[in-house]
Amino acid sequence: MSFAILTRSLTKRFGNTAALDGVGIEVPQGAIYALVGPNGAGKTTLIKVLMNIFGPSSGIAEVQGLDSRRIRGKAFQRIGYVSENQEMPDWMTVGDLLRYYRSFYPDWDTELESQLVRQFDLPLDRKLKHLSRGVRVKAALASSLAYRPTVIVLDEPFSGLDPLVRDELIEGLLDRAEETTIFLSSHDLAEIESFSSHVGFLENGRLLFQEEMASLAGRFREVTVTLEGHVSVPREIPVAWLQAEAADSVVRFVDSRYEPEKTKREVAGAFPGAREVSIDPMTLRSIFLAIAKNGRGRLASRAEMESQKGVSA
């Protein structure tokens, strides 16, 4: 299987600090891959290594099969990049910016450019420095989509945007999702949940797991077991049960390897006198909280092994 983005044992050090520590990411062609994690997790560093803004300290990083250290010049004719903190030529108008970039891309599609300008409602005659943050990001995105890149990388593109602009941007991205691979970072799980096909969780420079969104949502369930009388959490429970807690006659836990029959069997085995068992799907946010609270280190190695299978599948 070919990957649009691939890293293996990728490490980036700044002095004695490891911003990235042995990260292995696989982004399939055509995926919408969301790299999530708290602030300072290393998301921007990873993206900057992929874009050859930083060189890796060790390991491999590839975009469309090209070593990230060789990504420069013409290689950017098929890679798009939009970042929340990217400087832009503020003295230019939006129209100047688009005209200026045209000469850099042989595949620049002026028709698509016009379409994007209309779709994002961009004011062509206004200088970038006079635009709101949302319109600037839209202008940056339009200038990164008009040449139909095969990979587009977005670093916290929705950070600080109002919901309307965010939806416009997502819509604009999804309209081109069929012809490109989208790799974006975010610390807000809710904003990427609705449209991402894959998700990776980065924390303290380490990738805790990565998985297809459908698979992730499918294997996590919140299980609530109601029993007779006061109960406590049994000593021996399956390792996939996270955050198990008991209150009065109710036991709650998160099953991280949910399979309907298997889970029912395990619940029946652990709680023979169960009066009621309810199994509910979880939001991405709840899943991440469960993972985070359960002790990331223990889960990381196991989940990563599973996710390898999931992504490969």
Partner 1 sequence: MKQIAAVFTKDARRFWPEIAVSVLLLAVFVMVYPVTWQHNSMVAETFAGRFSMGEGGRGFLAACLVVLVPVSWLVLIARVVHCERLVGDTQFWLTRPYEWPKLLAAKALFLGAFLYLPFLLAQCGLLMEAGFNPTGYALGLGLNLVLVTVILILPAIALSSLTRGFARLMLVLLGFVVILVVVNVIASYLPRVGNGGAPELISGEIGFFVLLIGCSMAVWIMYAMRRLRMGWIVLGGSLLLLLGMSWADPDRAVMERFFPANRSAAAQVIEMSYAAEGLRQPIVRDTRDKDELEVSIPVSSSVLQPDLAVVPQAQRVTIEEPDGTRWRSPWQRYDRAAFLPGSNVSSISFILPRRIYEQWKGASTGLNVEFALISAKQTMQRTIALPEGDFTVDGFGICTPWSWYAKRREYSAITCRSAMRQPLLTYVTAPWADDSCSKPNDEKGGKMMATAWAGNLDMAPAQMGITSVWSPQLNFSNAWNIHAGAPARPRILCSGSPVSFTQFRLQERMTVQMKVENFRFPEIMSAEQMAATD
Given a contact cutoff of 8 angstroms between Cβ atoms, the answer to whether 233 and 251 are in contact is: yes
Indicate the residue among 27 and 270 with the shorter CB distance to partner 1.
27
Min separation Cβ 306 and partner 1, Å: 34
Q: Write down the least CB distance from residue 2 to partner 1, Å.
A: 23
Between 104 and 295, CB nearer to partner 1: 104
Q: Which is nearer to partner 1, 72 or 133 (CB)?
A: 72
Q: Which is nearer to partner 1, 100 or 301 (CB)?
A: 100
The residues of the shown chain that bind partner 1, judged by CB under 8 A, are 48, 51, 53-54, 72-77, 79, 81, 83, 85-89, 91, 100-101, 103-105
Nearest approach, Cβ of 23 to partner 1 (angstroms)? Answer: 18
Closest residue by Cα to residue 95 from 72, 122, 121:
122
Q: Which residues contact 307 (CB under 8 A, 6 or more apart)?
A: 209, 210, 211
Q: How far apart are CA 164 and CA 169, in angstroms?
A: 9
Dmax of the chain from CA atoms?
75
Place of tokens 């894959």: 198
Element (H, E) at 46: helix 43-50
Q: Which is nearer to partner 1, 3 or 81 (CB)?
A: 81
CB 35 within 8 A of CB 184: yes
Output the smallest distance, CB 193 to partner 1, in A. 27
Q: Based on CB atoms, which residue is closest to partner 1, 88 or 177?
A: 88
Instruction: Give bridge partners of residue 240 from the DSSP assignment.
Output: none
- Cα–Cα distance measured from residue 160 to residue 137, given in angstroms and rounded to the nearest whole number: 11
The nearer residue to partner 1, 72 or 298, going by C-beta atoms, is: 72
**107 and 80 in contact (C-beta within 8 Å)?**
no
Query: Between 87 and 228, whose beta carbon lies closer to partner 1?
Result: 87
**CB of residue 31 vs partner 1: minimum separation in angstroms?**
20
Shortest approach of partner 1 to residue 54 CB, angstroms? 7
Half-sphere CA count of 105, side-chain side, radius 13 A: 22
- Rounded to 5 degrees, φ, ψ at 213 are -60, -45
Contacts of 186 (CB under 8 A, 6+ apart): 34, 35, 36, 43, 156, 157, 158, 159, 192
Closest CA to 281 of 213, 231, 234, 233: 213
Q: How far is the CB of 85 from partner 1 (least distance, A)?
A: 6
> Beta-carbon neighbour count of residue 209 at 10 Å?
22
Nearer to partner 1 by Cβ, of 53 and 237: the residue is 53
Helix or strand run (H / E) with residue 100: helix 94-102
Q: How large is the angle between the packed helices 110-120 and 133-145, nearest 10 degrees?
A: 160
